Chains A and B, each alone.
Chain A
Amino acid sequence: MISGRLHRFGAILATLVLLAGCGTGGSSYSPAGAASSSQGQAPAAGQSGSSTAAPAAASGDKVHLVYFNARGAEAAERALVSRYMQDHPNIDIEYLSTTSLSGPSDTDAIANLIFNIQAKKVIDAAKIEVSRTPLDLMDSGSIQELTQVGGDAMQTQLKGLLNSNYVDINNAVWAMPYEYDPFGYVYNADMFKDAGLNPDNPPKSWDELRQVNDTIKAKNASAWPICQPINNLAKTMPWVWTSGGNYWDKDILPTKADFTSPVVTDVYKFEQEWSQKGWRNTDELSDTSTLQLMISRKCAAVIYSSDLILQLESNDPKTDWRVAPIQSKDGNGTPATYGGGSALAIPTTAAHPKEAMDFIMWLTSDDGQRLKYGATPGLNIADQDLYSQANPDSMAVSDQLKTDPKWKQSILTVPSRPPGVSPAFSKIYQMLADMQERIVRSNSDVTTELTNVQQQAQPLLDQAIQNFPQLYQKS
């Protein structure tokens, strides 16, 4: 009898212990509290919103913000958060980040953020990719339009930031640009010298690039004269723009895909030529492998983020690294580049959008950017962490850093162009990237590939126009 009771007691105790352990401890996240009931829904795309900000915290109350970083530069972001809390004792910021591997798309990298928003978890500010993600999140009703929250001060500050045309669509602002990531021709000047080339005169036209590639390949048969990510659209678009072409009828909210134009066709044929002649990488590039391939002299040049030069100089200071604009077909094209990077948005689940806006305004201010990029000392992060960020988004800070010998080459003066931002851009981007891989790896017919992808992309554009008529009406 006693033995039976003891067994039952033990079983109950074990059950309770196990259930308590499994209860709510699966996540380190502790919500700041339910969003205020007076907070309205995020406005539909294109409409001037009427979302009501949460009531300001009573004076003396500490405001708890949740900041979700889905875009890296961990050390700098953590240090900035600490600094902001020091300067604003009434603000307590909970820092969250995603630790995804380098994924196939930025939506993949922010999946963690998206699921938190769908689960109605409070997130007050989020750092996201800038060229595709804001409109993806707008499409899914996950982020707030910032004009109502930030007012005139936000609009004024936006004018001083690069890439604002990626997020300011028809008087609706979906995020504040935060980091700027232009692409350029990053090359090893020592390899140029070894091959008898003048590194002070990098190639400006396609023919000059062909000569450079031939010369380097003849000198070093195992090297790749030019490397570029294979399944990628962002590094190919500048080739089209600088040669006077475009993928669409408009850079912002395009309505017509035009992939079969002569310039676009020529660019992909040119990229195919690199593969046919053994000039380009056969393995896909990642941030890590690009660094390794450049330092080991496997790649003589790479089309990549201009800030790669900071990491190259940091890891291999003895080599002469340079950056130049991407070549145009005839050497006389108008320079333009794809300006990737990151932006700061306020999700629809924010509990304190006003305070989140203040935090975002500080991060994107000239003072905040100077601190982030070491122009003003005080952040106390390692050089490696400082240089692994993309470039500053503030025009004033970029101008200031241009005079710094370390940053000079990273700050590209080539203007960026919006890549056809639209709610459909993410999906079309991947279609074009997959097409590029087929063209490069399997020598498929360029014209046929471009025609097929255009036929697949146009319905997606049409659907975006149908789903967001007000957004497109104003454009």
Chain B
Amino acid sequence: MSDATSAISVPVAQPARRGTQIGRTFRESRTAYMLLAPFLILFVLVLAYPLLYSLYLSFFNATLNKAPTFVGDGNFAQLATDADFLTALRNTVFFTVFVVIGETVLPLFLAIAMNEHLPFRTFLRTTYFLPVVTSWVVVSLIWSMMFSQQGLVNGFIAAVGFSPEPFLSDAGQAMGIIIAVSIWKNLGYYMVIYLAALQGVPQELYEAAAVDGASKIRQTWHIAIPALRPVIYFVFTITIIRSMQVFEQSFIITNGGPLNATLMLVVLLYRHAFVNLEFGYGSAIAAFLLVVLVALALLNRRVHDFLVQ
């Protein structure tokens, strides 16, 4: 008697080859890739290629119209002993700490306030958002005029009987102004982000808490803020990244002065690359900043994951 199983040949599915899988995925998603293509092409041309070339240049002594000379880690070794670089690093970290706190906390309070049914709420929201849509150059120029020796603020101070303040000539005050303008300009942006998240919190939770006798502050602390935790994390991360790259306010208001008191890393990079035409050294500063920002982002992620668990 013949084996029944041998008379029937059952086709056995072969595991698909990886290449075939990728090809099929691409064919199925062809339209999506075509729509993404313009961005990807621009990304490579405008971001990826310059970034990689800058990293490459950081190992060279490169200037205008001359072939670059390989110096290995010479530029990075120079960073460690460059007084201006260390000053700029210290200033940038100082600036970042205060701006991150300001831009994470203050917009949250604003958003909580704006979430209430206030009179002229729409007008207030628009007012807070206006600085966000104003150019950094315009804002910086106006603030530098306001706080100059003959500016509006000193005019007001003199009018009430006090002596004018050396806002932009004093190291501490100049840094304070740079920090203040940075926080002020971005308040509206982060407020809107928080507001959008707040409006996703179910009203029933607030009502239940109110029934249980919770005050507004307790409701905010125990309901709104826990619900906003992912958004707070997002804002925290974004403000760190943006603050470390500060340029316009420092360059336009004080040009890094007085006496390098407001000199930031990107301003220093600009001076080396575009004033002294030291492209290699400028690229080394840029590479350092990139490594720091990536490290901070990864650390931030780790801390967030740990806290969530």
Residues of A at the B interface (CB closer than 8 Å) are 7-8, 11-12, 14-15, 18-19, 22, 101, 103-105, 107-108, 111, 114, 117-118, 140-142, 222, 231, 281-284, 289, 292-293, 296, 298, 427, 430, 437-438, 441-442
Contact = CB atoms under 8 A, between A and B. Distances in A.
Contacts of A118: 64-65
A38 B242 CA distance: 50
A437 B35 CA distance: 55
27 contacts: A8-B30, A8-B31, A8-B34, A11-B31, A14-B34, A14-B38, A15-B35, A19-B41, A101-B252, A104-B255, A104-B275, A105-B275, A107-B274, A107-B275, A107-B276, A111-B274, A111-B275, A114-B64, A118-B65, A140-B63, A142-B64, A142-B65, A222-B164, A231-B257, A284-B168, A284-B257, A296-B150
The 5 closest A-B pairs by CB, nearest first: A11-B34, A18-B38, A282-B169, A140-B64, A141-B65
A interface SS class: helix
Nearest to A288: B145
Interface residues of B, number: 30
Contact of B148 (A283, A438, A441): A283
Contacts of B292: none
B150 A22 contact: no
Contact of A298 (B150, B258, B274): B150
Interface string B66-84: 1000000000000000000
A95 to B, nearest CB: 23
Contacts of B63: 140
B277 A283 contact: no
A296 B155 CA distance: 12
Contacts of B274: 107-108, 111
Contacts of A140: 63-66, 277
A101 B274 CA distance: 14
B166 interface: yes
B157 interface: no
Contacts, number: 83
B237 interface: no
A15 B275 contact: no
A216 to B, nearest CB: 17
A283 B149 contact: yes
Interface of B: 30-31, 34-35, 37-38, 41-42, 63-66, 137, 148-150, 164, 166, 168-169, 252, 255, 257-259, 271, 274-277
A282 B170 CA distance: 9
Contacts of A18: 38
A324 to B, nearest CB: 25
A19 B34 contact: no
A84 to B, nearest CB: 29
Contacts of B258: 284, 437, 441
B149 A19 contact: no
Nearest to B141: A101
A427 B271 CA distance: 12
Given A22-B38, A105-B275, A298-B149, A441 B259 contact: yes
A215 B2 CA distance: 127
Contacts of B38: 14-15, 18-19, 22
Contacts of A8: 30-31, 34
A148 B151 CA distance: 53
Contact of A104 (B34, B168, B271): B271
Nearest to B260: A434
B34 A282 contact: no
